[in-house]
Structure formats: C-alpha cells, structure tokens
Amino acid sequence: MGYQLELRHFTYFLAVAEELHFRKAADRLFISQPGLSRQIKQMEEIIGADLFVRNNRSVSLTAAGHYLKKELAFIFNHIDFTIKHTRLINEGSNGEIRVGFLGSAIQTVIPEILINVNSTYPNIKFSLEEMSNYDQVEAIEKDQLDLGFVRLSRVPKGIQMKVIHTDTFSLVLPDNHLLTKDTFTSIKQVENEHFILFSSNYSSLYYDKIVSICEDKGFTPKVSHKSVHAQTIYKLVESGLGVAIVPTSLQHGFNLGVKFLEIPKIPQRAVLSVIWKEDNRNPALHRIMQFL
Amino acid sequence: MGYQLELRHFTYFLAVAEELHFRKAADRLFISQPGLSRQIKQMEEIIGADLFVRNNRSVSLTAAGHYLKKELAFIFNHIDFTIKHTRLINEGSNGEIRVGFLGSAIQTVIPEILINVNSTYPNIKFSLEEMSNYDQVEAIEKDQLDLGFVRLSRVPKGIQMKVIHTDTFSLVLPDNHLLTKDTFTSIKQVENEHFILFSSNYSSLYYDKIVSICEDKGFTPKVSHKSVHAQTIYKLVESGLGVAIVPTSLQHGFNLGVKFLEIPKIPQRAVLSVIWKEDNRNPALHRIMQFL
DNA sequence: CTAATTGATAACCCACAGTTATTGAATGAT
DNA sequence: ATCATTCAATAACTGTGGGTTATCAATTAG
C-alpha cells in the first residue's frame, strides 16, 4: 500500500497485454518474470481492479484490462508526442512568436516576412497585435512581446533595433482636389490646408517628421485632427476636412475617395524598424532572425 | 544516463511549474528541495530540453516548459479518468460522465436528460459540478469534463456545440410590486428600477442579452447588483433591492416572495447549449449522445 | 508416471530517490 | 561597506523497493 502508479507499470502492463504471456513479456522488457509478475500485481492493487485473468495455464484480459490497454496506448502516444514537441520547441523549430506592430506597417513589410518564415518554418506561429511605438517597447521589456515593428529613432538599453524598410511620403487629398500628379511640385502648395496626422503619442517620431517636412519648406502645418488609424485619416480627408501625409506604401489596401501624390524632393523618409530584446529566450525568435 | 521518464517527474515538474519556487514546490510534495532539484534536472536531461530558467534568484518557465505544463495537465486528467473508469468497468458499471453546468440550467433541461439516460443506462453515473461558461470550456479542453451546459454563442476549435433549449425571458418582481400580469406590457415600465443581474464574467452573453432587451426599448438598465446564483438574485428582489430578468424556466424550484412576468414582444431568447470535445475518448459519452 | 511449461512465492541485493548539511550567489537592510 | 536573508545547486549519505535467482505449485502432454 501507499505506492504510486508510474509509467513503468503502464509499460509492463502493455507488454503483458500484448503478449498475454508473462515470460515472453518479461523477455521483451529485459527483466525477469517474477519481477514483472510482482509489478503487475502491485498495479492491480493500486488501481483496485483485476486486469488479467490467470487461468494458471493461460493469461487473458478482463473487460477492464481491455479498456485500459486501449487507453494506455493512446496515452503513451500522446506523451511521446508531447515530449518530442517539447524538444522541438526548445530547439526553436516549433513555437510561437508574439509580434506587435504599428497599423502603418501591416500593408507591406510584415506580410512578406510572415510568408517567408512560414515557408521555412511552417510550425512557427505568430500572434499579432497592433500597438503604439511606446506600448511595444514596454511590452518587449516585460517579455510580453518578442518582436515589435516600430518607427523610432532610439530605443532603450537592452533592446536591439534594425531598420527594415524606408519609404517616401505621399500627400493624401480628396479625389476632387485641384492638385494633380502633374501640377503638384511642392508641399508648400497646400500650406493653407488643415492637416490630419497620426496622433503624436501613437508615434511621435512620425509626427515630428511630417511636421519637419512642412517646416523645411517654410511653413508650420495647421494640424486639426489626429487619429490612430489610416482608415480614419483617409475618411476624414475624403470628407474634405483636410489633407494628410502618410508613407507612400500605406495607400494599398484601401478603397476610398482619396488620391495619393508622392511628395517630391524631400529628404525625409518613413523608417520602419524591428525591435527585440537582446536576451530574449524564445528559441523560435532566434530561428527567424535571418528573415528580418 | 539511461534513465526513464516516470509520472513522478511529471508530478514534480507540475508542482515547480505552478509554484515557480523549488522550496515551496518541495514542501508541497513533502520531499526535500535538493531531491526535487535533482529530479527536475534529470527530467530536463532525459527530455533533452530546458524547462526552467533559473536566475539563481527566480525560476521561470521556458517556452518549452510552458507547453509541457499545459499538456501534462491534460495527460494527468486523462490518466486519472482512465484509472477511475477502469475501476468502474471492473465493478460492472458502465462508466462515468463528468458534467459541468450553469446554475440556470439545473431546473429544467438537465434533470430530464439525466432521467432519460438513467432509464436506458442505469450503470452510467454522473458527476455534476456548477461552473461558469468559461471554466467549463477550459475544463473540457483539459479533459476534466466530458459535457458542459453553457450559454455561449461561439466556442473554441475542437469543441462541439449543440443548442438544446431556448427560453423566453421573465421579469422578476417582489410580490407586492404594483405591476401585475395584466398591467405589464413593456419592460420600459421598470426603467427606473435597479436591476440585479447575473455577473457578466459568469456568463457574458447572458448579461449582454439582458442589457440589450432594455436597450431595444430605449433605456439602459441601472445595474446595481451582480450575482451568480438565482437564489441570491430572487432574495435581493424579494428584499426590494431591485428587479431582475431571468430565463422563464428559472422560476421553478424556488419558494420566495417574488413573482415572474414573462416579457412580451421581445426577440431575445435564453439559449442553452451542450458542449463537448470532438475527440473525447469516454465511451460512456458516445452512448448517451442520442439523448442530447 | 515423467517432463515440460506456466505464473506465484521467498529471500536476497544494490540502484537510485530522497535525506541532511553545506556552499555560493544574489538581494536587501543597516 | 557589512551583515543577514533567501534562493538553488552540490556533496555525501541512507534505505526503500525494483529487480534478481532459486524454488514451488499447478496444469498439460506424451
């Protein structure tokens, strides 16, 4: 009494259940027959059920034994798979990477990376969450996130950053606006319009950069609305509430009454970077680093 | 080298994974801390994966450890059930079905099912436990439960759901309230009363539905109390602390100073569903499926 | 009858799970 | 700085119980 069931018991039971012969089962397990007999007996005592009928000349399974045999086969397979899978996760071949991103990055860069990673490591899964620059940095420091897609110039100590995409800026105008691709030569032509920008605490670098585009040309933009979603910004532009400046690549995927005119002759670029924690312990992350 | 994994390792691992503290885990297991440390280390060697990160000051799970923890919880539940079931078969019973349910389902539907099953399969036993929607889903995924009675609109992948009962809603009033069956025409008549509802994290769909009944009629209910038990809610109503809205069938089985008025002309229904795991291996469950 | 084949029992042995005592590293308090 | 505290790892030990060999008891075959 007071013993515990162990996997050993299950292994032994399965051998006997398959051989229906203690001696042969013992041989298969490379142990002696009395040892096996005792373990099986102990197992029956622990469970509190007869598993075999010993006819003193032949061995057969009881109904309970039959059921147990079937279930244990399942359990062993499940355990085997689990152990194997655990090892794989440890090696980074399987696993999950938690990704944060700015809405303005989801159109171009991220999909490409995901597709590439998926073709080489189909077992690595992603969980995506849209977050502000600042929230991403915080989440990465807290190990709530493995990877962030941000627009930042600097990043706290302990966090790595790598530029992965630079983009020109485009002016967003309502479809019926006077300016066209041909007549648009400088951003100064819209200096009297109201500007709709991404909220500065969503991405302050981004905000400042757009303001600097205007200031370089000698005027300060009148910012009337701030928003977080490109969709919202375009809707406001379409409604005639103002104009906007966004990264050129952000024109894909929308169907609204606005037109995009690339701003010529400016040095500013929308820079998208990946960030991650130096001492991140997620093995899957290291696997996919090459794709960044 | 050459060791074997045993259930002991799993038990120890789970204790450490839950406590994240070797000493506390060792205390819980009634063994010494060095013994535990060694077993865990051995386990990591056998599996060939790091399961914990020991910072010499704190213990945390690796990605592989997280995965293993989740899977082992399932495996243990499955083994426990299998052993129990083996014993039941040995005793000549046909099995046991573990049922979870919302308190609001115990009055009407479940008793009928139990009576039906019992008359055909007198040897199938039930263990009933009252649980929230969310807990039931979790328990079913972990194989802690075979069947759940919930009020949900969606359910995770791998879980089956079937509607078994739809019910109208009734207003619960203290006996001495002015409104009667004849004068009650719209829920708007009680818009100034305080409402006592089931807690939203007990059953959020249910909560939202009741709020929507009011909002459809042009007002937002003032929710003053939230509770988990119908009994409690009725008691509060009886005490004059407010009114409540519950599924009509939930009026049976109580003897309190409250009256139930079915709410006329609303589309909302209280929908009760059964849920179970697609790949549930309990043979008794498959036998009783026809009764659902 | 004897010989062969089966699982159960008895008595012994040693591997290793679990013990106590200690170290070493990191943190917090004064 | 210095000391006390808190944690896991290491070292050296001990004794339970898994496994051993030897034997028995029961059945079947020739």
Domain segments of chain B as ranges? 2-72, 93-164+272-291, 169-268
The pLDDT of residue B1 is 54
Asked, colleague to colleague, whether B2-72 and B93-164+272-291 share their fold, the answer is no
**CATH number given to A169-268:** 3.40.190.10
User: Which helix H or strand E contains A38, and what residues bound it?
Assistant: helix A33-47
Where does the pLDDT of residue B277 fall: very low under 50, low under 70, confident under 90, or very high at 90 and above?
very high
Structure tokens at B85: 């079931």
pLDDT at B77 over 80: yes
Structure tokens at B287: 């036998």
Residue among A6, A270, A258, A287 nearest A147 (CA): A287
The pLDDT of residue A56 is 67
pTM recorded for the entire structure = 0.70
Q: Are strands B243-247 and B194-198 parallel, antiparallel or unpaired?
A: parallel
Check CB contact under 8 Å for B50 and A282.
no
Task: Tell me which chain A residue has its CA closest to the CA of residue B53.
Answer: A281
C-alpha radius of gyration, chain B, whole number? 25
Q: What is the mean pLDDT of chain A?
A: 86
Structure tokens at B279: 């790949």
Where does the pLDDT of residue A142 fall: very low under 50, low under 70, confident under 90, or very high at 90 and above?
low
Name the nucleotide nearest B16; use CA and C1'. Answer: D8
* Chain A residues closer than 8 Å to B90 by CB: 48-50, 62-64
On whether the CB atoms of residues A182 and A212 are closer than 8 A, the answer is no
On whether the CB atoms of residues A97 and A147 are closer than 8 A, the answer is yes
CB proximity list for B179: less than 8 A, separation 6 or greater: B171, B173, B189, B190, B261
For the four alpha carbons of A37, A38, A39 and A42, in that order, the dihedral sign comes to: positive
The topology (CATH level 3) of A2-72 is Arc Repressor Mutant, subunit A (1.10.10)
User: Which helix H or strand E contains B256, and what residues bound it?
Assistant: none
Mutation pick from A30, A51, A69, A90 vs chain B, by most beta carbons of B within 10 Å, is A90
Mutation pick from A42, A43, A71, A80 vs chain B, by most beta carbons of B within 10 Å, is A71
Residue with tokens 């025409």: B185
Q: Which residues of A136-145 are buried (b: 16+ CB within 10 A; e: fewer)?
A: bbbbbeeeeb
Span of B117-121, B127-131, B230-234, B285-289 with lowest mean pLDDT = B230-234
pLDDT at A228 over 80: no
Q: What is the pLDDT of residues A237-282, one digit of tens each?
A: 888 888 999 999 888 877 788 999 999 989 999 899 999 988 777 7
For the four alpha carbons of B39, B40, B43 and B45, in that order, the dihedral sign comes to: negative
| Whole-number distance in Å between B144 CA and C15 C1' | 37
Where does the pLDDT of residue B140 fall: very low under 50, low under 70, confident under 90, or very high at 90 and above?
very high
pLDDT at B161 over 90: yes
Residue whose CA is minimally distant from C27 C1': B57
On whether the CB atoms of residues B120 and B170 are closer than 8 A, the answer is no
The pLDDT of residue B83 is 92
pLDDT over 70, % of chain A: 98
**CATH number given to B93-164+272-291:** 3.40.190.10
Q: What is the pLDDT of residues A109-139, one digit of tens each?
A: 888 888 888 888 888 888 888 888 888 988 8
Where does the pLDDT of residue B260 fall: very low under 50, low under 70, confident under 90, or very high at 90 and above?
very high
Q: What is the pLDDT of residues A81-104, one digit of tens each?
A: 888 889 888 887 787 888 888 877
On whether the CB atoms of residues A86 and B64 are closer than 8 A, the answer is yes
